[in-house]
């Protein structure tokens, strides 16, 4: 724990100990470097030092967050949905009498009627048209269902 608390964190630029106590952690071998007494002036100086450190920590955290977001977005791939294509819909609701473990994760396939925004698609369910965010959809990679079959049998 001592090693973790004394090591400088990449995102903050400070060690956890320094961010809390305002200075580097002393090792037990540096007992002669410990202060002998505490004066009010020292407490005021510590408060100023801590405020400066916390301000820098917030700035460093913001920079690290932007860098992490860039790295994550480089690896992220947005699915390429097309009007007329088919998707599967993730429905987190478990029907009455069913158990989540044995319920299907996705329903469908459903045709995409329209792309309403860069992250939303309008799909045709058996009885209505709904707008769904891409995070609940995945591309259907099977045979394209016959258009009349999906209206005659809403389960497909």
Q: Where are the domains of the chain?
A: 2-75, 86-152
As assigned by CATH, the class of the 86-152 domain is: mainly beta
Reported as a single tens digit per residue, the pLDDT across 67-94 is 988 888 787 777 788 999 999 999 888 8
Please enumerate in sequence order all residues whose Cβ is within 8 A of that of 18, keeping only pairs 6 or more positions apart, or say none: 24, 25, 53
C-alpha span between 41 and 39 (Å, rounded): 5
Buried b vs exposed e over 107-142: b needs ≥16 C-beta within 10 Å? ebbbbbeeeeeeeebbbbeeeeeeebebeebbebee
Reported as a single tens digit per residue, the pLDDT across 38-73 is 666 677 787 888 889 889 999 999 999 999 888 887
């Amino acid at each position: 724990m001592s090693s973790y608390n004394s090591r400088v964190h990449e995102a903050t630029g400070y060690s956890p100990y320094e961010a809390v106590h305002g200075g580097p952690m002393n090792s037990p071998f540096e007992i002669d470097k410990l202060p002998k007494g505490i004066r009010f002036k020292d407490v005021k100086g510590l408060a100023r030092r801590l405020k400066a450190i916390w301000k820098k920590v917030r700035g460093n955290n913001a920079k690290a967050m932007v860098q992490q977001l860039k790295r994550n977005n480089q690896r992220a791939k947005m699915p390429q949905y097309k009007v007329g294509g088919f998707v599967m819909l993730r429905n987190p609701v478990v029907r009455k009498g069913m158990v989540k473990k044995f319920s299907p994760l996705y329903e469908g396939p459903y045709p995409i009627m329209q792309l309403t925004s860069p992250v939303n698609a309008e799909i045709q369910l058996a009885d209505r048209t709904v707008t769904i965010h891409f995070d609940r959809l995945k591309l259907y990679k099977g045979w394209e269902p016959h258009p009349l079959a999906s209206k005659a049998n809403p389960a497909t």
